Amino acid sequence: MNFPQVIKDLVNANNDFDSTAFADCFSETAIAFDEGKTHTGKADIKNWIEKAMKEYSASMKPVDFEGDAEKGILKAEISGNFPGSPLILTYDFKFQNEKIESLRIS
């Protein structure tokens, strides 16, 4: 599967439970939307993912990606401590300067 390096870095950070490396995949002004909540800026995104990592212990396995250097859709199997695990989630990305500018998880 061919996808941008920033997505590879995000998946690795997620699976290593490294919230700092995860947040480093985002621009300073990035926005992430997950579970009905919006997280704005790199620091807020780090706090959100750190809490999620502790609560769910979820690992991510990419199953499909379509996109380019500006936007992309990643489908990934997510396994962890939550009802219905594993699930296939959709990650809708917008990129700028090889960083994630926005992310919507559904």
Q: Is the pLDDT of residue 1 over 90?
A: no
Q: What is the pLDDT of residue 31?
A: 98
What is the arithmetic mean of pLDDT over 89-100?
97
10 Å CB burial of residue 2 (0-12, 13-18, 19+) is exposed
CATH fold of 5-105: Nuclear Transport Factor 2; Chain: A, (3.10.450)
Q: Is the pLDDT of residue 62 over 90?
A: yes
pLDDT tens-digit profile of 3-61?
899 999 999 999 999 999 999 999 999 999 999 999 999 999 999 999 999 999 999 99
pLDDT tens-digit profile of 65-86?
999 889 999 999 999 999 999 9
Buried b (16+ CB within 10 A) or exposed e, 53-80: beeeebbbebeebebeeeebebebebee
Q: What is the pLDDT of residue 76?
A: 98
